[in-house]
Amino acid sequence: MSNPWLVMIFIGLLTFATRVSFIVILDRWKTPTIIRRALRFVPVSVLTAIFVPEVLMPTGTIDVSMSNARLIAGLIAMLVAWKTKNIVWTIVVGMGVLLLTQWYL
């Protein structure tokens, strides 16, 4: 398969087949309750796996000191999220604190 067009068409068909297979299979299959309950935690788990290393390990090693601007901003953003339950305020305050602490430190 040295022709790039054949490779792109083959990969496109393969991608389409894998996505359609899930639609066809899941249309007929009733998901067990335990799996549905477990799948509710997937977004939280994925987001945690993304942001915890960024907050606790900005330089590649664990840094829980007060010189870690991301940790300070993250803690304050968590406090704002807990108090206000407003995602916009959480993002604005978290980013503002991050910028200020990076500038200050």
Across the chain, which has 105 residues, the per-10-residue mean pLDDT values are 86 93 80 91 94 92 93 96 96 97 91
In sequence order, the 6+-apart residues with CB closer than 8 A to the CB of 79 are: none
Give the gyration radius of the chain's Cα atoms.
Answer: 22
For the four alpha carbons of 58, 81, 93 and 44, in that order, the dihedral sign comes to positive
pLDDT for residue 45: 95
Q: CA angle 19-25-28, nearest 5°?
A: 140
pLDDT for residue 1: 56
pLDDT for residue 24: 84
Global model pTM greater than 0.85: no
Cα separation of the two ends of the chain: 55
